Amino acid sequence: MPDSHLEGSVADLDDDERYLVHSRLEITAVLRSLIEHNALITIYFGDAGESIVTTLLAINPNFEELIFDYGADSSMNARLLQASRLSIVTQLDHIRIQFGASRAEATSFRHAPAFRIRFPNDLLRLQRREYYRVKAPLSQPVRCRVQLDPEREDSTVNIRIFDVSVGGIALVDYPPNLKPEPGTIYHNCHIDLREIGRVTTDIEIVHVMEKVSGNSVRMRLCGCRFVNMSNSMLTLIQRYINKIEREQKARSCA
């Protein structure tokens, strides 16, 4: 996490220009860089937010496939092959790289077991400064209102936000009926930023995890990215981040 805050106005850039790469040639170049640098890659899957650490072994654009090494845990590899949605995440030169896949298939590479995943249609690439996160203060909690079933008004839940960036949010201690799964999108979510204003956006579940604090209390967290967010809403998010930073600096100087 960088020391400096976000530079420039997020309202100056279109969402696709800031985050998503659609060009097949550019996606291929990014993926080849991962192979050249032997970058460690995490593949998240399943309701419990399981994951394996792997490397990208090969790209076969003509067969629309990427080949990944097997993980160290054979039982985890087997569960990954049963998963219906995958989230592939890595970093290269301080840039977060992420894309999704519907499933993986077993294959072999140079006579060793491997995974085969479909070549992505797009790829998320974020500069480190673009996803700088601030923790939402417990003294001034902010919540995200999520409607679990668009057909039912009584399916709405209010979930506390753990941290915020212009790329997304992390939700903490969500209710059991949320059952987050990477790739799931919830529409028309509302985030109340108090005096800053209310943000309305779609969110996509990216990963699910548990954190254990010093007193062994477990926190359930799910990371979400903003989807189809307007520039005006992004501006509100940045204003909130700047506000929290100013307050943190004022306390540290007191």
pLDDT above 50: residue 148: yes
pLDDT at 203: 92
Q: What is the pLDDT of residues 43-64, one digit of tens each?
A: 988 876 788 889 999 999 788 9
Name the 3-class secondary structure at 11. helix
List the end-to-end C-alpha distance of the chain, in Å, as a whole number. 24
- Residue 58 forms beta bridges with which residues? 67
CATH superfamily of 133-253: predicted glycosyltransferase like domains (2.40.10.220)
Amino acid at 156: T
Q: What is the pLDDT of residues 61-105, one digit of tens each?
A: 788 999 999 988 899 999 999 999 898 988 787 677 889 898 999
Question: Which candidate, 20, 21, 11, places its Cα nearest to that of 230?
Answer: 11
pLDDT at 243: 86
Question: Which candidate, 204, 197, 253, 194, places its Cα nearest to that of 228?
Answer: 204
- Report the distance separating Cα 97 and Cα 125, nearest Å: 5
Confidence of residue 2 (pLDDT cuts 50, 70, 90): very low
User: What is the residue extent of each domain of the chain?
Assistant: 16-129, 133-253
Q: Check if the beta carbon of residue 218 is closer than 8 Å to that of residue 211.
A: yes
Average pLDDT over residues 181-198: 89
pLDDT above 60: residue 217: no
Could you tell me which CATH class the domain 16-129 is placed in?
Answer: mainly beta
Question: Which candidate, 66, 81, 69, 80, places its Cα nearest to that of 32?
Answer: 66
pTM for this model (two decimals): 0.50
Name the 3-class secondary structure at 78. helix
- Given phi > 0 = left and psi -120 to 50 = alpha, else beta, which region is 197? left
